[in-house]
Structure 1
């Protein structure tokens, strides 16, 4: 290996390492608020259970507080209820079986098995099942030092209550920041996929289209995170008085999240049909590539306008321009798959309009007007969409 090649390789490794460090710092910065919540909640839960109430070893209290805060975002009230119920199931089964069959390896296995089966039978989610099993193990292995069953249940109740108090009153997260942080990569991924798909159509390159489809499929994870963040933010605003003022800006994300997720799925269908069209050697009018690119622009504008907390007027106008462009494909000639692409463009434009706040029935009407009648022999301009959000 030559010196220049070695230096280049070292430079690449150094760049990857630096990028990894930056990414780690970014994740740590984003997780700092949750870490502070968990630390404060654990300390308060132990103080209340140990120093105020007088429990000698209330380990369930800080555990319950941390689990309440660290649960997957959204539905924390439900997860706290599942946590307490899981503790009750695990403790009840553990104490009962230890009295009957004693303790040991096979007894612990049997206790955990029955706790998980019972938690599943009552329809509990993952927090309930996990907490039932872990509580049963703790009871089976620490029964000589943990005291009476009702005290352990009380510890979990104190910890869960402290966790809820910390996240809603003492240190509530800013729901708008959380949602924006989750929405940004999702919308960027969708916009990038559409731009890449438009490029593939323009160049009749199936490899580029396949890459676009891979990116759009991978975006499903970021969209799931976006949806979860919206759920958590809605709950946070409802229970945290300090965050009530965020409701207006947050409504843009809450109202649009489902519609932009529908757009992602329609774009995946569009990508598969574009690959089929090229595989069948169908004609692909240039306006289709332009239209798909305009949809990507609309998504990117929607991201920017949501982040600024303003009405997404520019995103609406770009989505309607995309609809206008795709309507010309009929005049230039399309095959079966091309017609499906046109339909998907129209549907995606409708999804973007609805995500921007346009009324459910008004959005498709605007798209139909922008597209115009097929084979009409004239190009219809996109209607101006600088209208205010329609009344609910």
Structure 2
């Protein structure tokens, strides 16, 4: 069994993917070829924003978003420690200071009620993470941002296709930043990412930054990076897009099936907030004696992962950014991600459920 079944997805889309990639090989425009603009137009329309800018990775998306806001050394960005390192990494790379705010115990999402207390005169932006495919409380977060004149960057690496109050993830704030890493809900066959905004000036800045700050060829208007997304990777996503809505529906059905089957076991399920949909970028539960449960599942042939085993304020690279985030630490000790993809079969899902029931039953 695969943790994320990319082979089954490719088998279903082989003809379309091969044709799209062959088209790029035939025209030879591997950098900023026509597929780049085509994908950006399609994703902007799907997300309901004016601008989509494809970039080299989800990390690059966050970095470029901060660069468009002219983050300066010493500027603070309020974010969560219960996330992948890229969230804080980009802040520190620009000389900024990540200010960690603890998360909700039942969702793992940043606790919006705690954000305002973390704001200082040095705060430049808020960076909530849409964890496991569910969006944080963006209405409350945006209200705090508006009150203090701050920008909001949604780290939506796991949540493209999710909604909040009927609006699409990535279209909820100043910037939305997503990842097309292969295992994401919409994944390419390498690294890739995208930025989304309704701000014309920020969009133009991002387009210049991703090509080494060029406003025209060899005219370097601003500091930039080599942040373009390869044409071939855009071609892969264009082949996948027509199936994406079906995949989202399938993920929702599998997520609900997991939740119903696991409801009576000796574990905790993440809460789903009213008015939000989840794309189950990961299907994550909370268990005690996690190492023993993982070993039991492994013996049964069930792959697992931990997202994430140590919050960022406890990582060696970020320990200097001290924070009191006990909930994040508690979750890090208990979270366990199970196999999830649109191509997970009910037969395999039943195997996971039975093996997990046996594993946690032994620990009860």
Q: TM-score, normalised by structure 2?
A: 0.22
Greater relative contact order, per chain length (Cα 8 Å cut-off, separation 6+):
2
Give the structure with the larger strand fraction.
2
Q: TM-score, normalised by structure 1?
A: 0.21
Which structure: larger Rg?
A: 1
